[in-house]
Amino acid sequence: MIDTKSLQVFVAVAEELHFGRAAERLHLAQPPVSQRIRALERQLRVQLFERTTRSVRLTDAGEALLDHSRRILASIEEAETICRAAGTGAVGKVRIGFAGASSHDDLPRLTRAVRRSYPGIELELHGQTYAEEASARVASGELDLGFARLPIEAPGLDYRVVNTEQLLCALPTQHPAARSKTIDLAALADEPFVTFPAYRGSSLRAVTIHACAEAGFTPRIVQEAPDSATILALVAAGVGVTLTLSSVRHVQRTGVAYRPVRGQVADLQAVLVWRADNPSKALRRVLDVAADALPGIASN
C-alpha cells in the first residue's frame, strides 16, 4: 500500500524535476526525499525517474503514476475539508417541510441565504406539509425543520416566529358580501365553503372550524383541495367561499375578493419549528442564517 507521504514526495519531484527544489518545497532535507523515491520504486518494481548528474525526467511509468497521484492527493484534501466543515455544521443535510403558498416568500429567502452562506449544506424540501403535520413530522424526527403556525402543541419542540398573517375571507368577486369592506362570519352561515382536507393537519382548516363555531355555525364544506392555489381557483369559479391568509393573496388575483374578518379573530403567527434535542450542527447553521434572512424573527 502506497502511503500518502510517498505520493506527496513523488508529486513534488515530478513537478520540480529536481530533488533539491522538491526538498525545499516539502521543507525536508534532500536525502529523505531521495530515499522515499527509491523506496517507492522498489515497492512498485518500476523506475519512476531517469536521473543523470544534470537532469531528472519522468519515465513512462512515472508519467502514468503522476495523474493518479494528483487525483488521490486532491481527493484526500477534499475529504479532509469536508470532515472539518462537517464538524462545524458547514456541510450536511437539513430536511424542511413547508405548505406551499403560505411560505412562498420565506422559503426562497431562507434557501437562498443558506446556499450563499453554507453551500455545503443540502436542503431537502418537502412540499404540501401542512402546519400541524410539519410539527408532528419534526417531533418524530422525520423532518429537521418545518414551517408551522402557533400554537405548537407537540412536546420537545422549539420555534421562532417568522411573520404574522391576517385571516381573510375570500369570496367570488360577484358575491354580494364582496361589496363590504369587512366580513361578518355569521353572515356566511348558509354559504358553501372550500377548504383543506380534514386528515392532513391543516392549521387553517382548524382555524376555519373554530372561527365559524365562535360565530355560531358549522361551515358547510362542499369541496376540499390540497393547496391554496386550487382552493382559491375554486372560489373564483363560484364553488364557495373560504378563509385564507394575507400571505396567499398573490396566488389568485382575478375573480376573488379578499376581505378582513370582522370581530375577535386573532392573527396567525407563522413559525419555524425544530426539535430542541436535534444534535445536527447543519440545522444550527440554518437557524443562524434564518435569524438574519427572515423578517420579524423572534425566539419563543
The DSSP result for the chain, as a single string, is: ---HHHHHHHHHHHHHS-HHHHHHHHT--HHHHHHHHHHHHHHHTS--EEE-SS-EEE-HHHHHHHHHHHHHHHHHHHHHHHHHHHHHTSEEEEEEE--SGGGTTHHHHHHHHHHHH-TEEEEEEE-S--HHHHHHHHHHTS-SEEEEES---STTEEEEEEEEE-EEEEEETTSGGGGSSSB-GGGGTTSEEEE--GGGT-HHHHHHHHHHHHTT---EEEEE-SSHHHHHHHHHTTS-BEEEEGGGGGG--SSEEEEEBPSSPPPEEEEEEEETT---HHHHHHHHHHHHHSTT-EE-
The answer on pLDDT for 276 being more than 80 is yes
Tell me, what amino acid is at 236? A
Enumerate domains of the chain plus CATH numbers.
4-88 (1.10.10.10), 91-164+269-299 (3.40.190.10), 167-266 (3.40.190.10)
> What average pLDDT is seen over the chain?
88
pLDDT digits (tens, 9 = 90+) for 163-180: 888 889 999 999 999 999
> Which residue is associated with the grid cell 417531533?
139
pLDDT tens digit string along 212-245?
Answer: 999 999 999 999 998 888 999 999 999 999 999 8
pTM score, whole prediction: 0.64
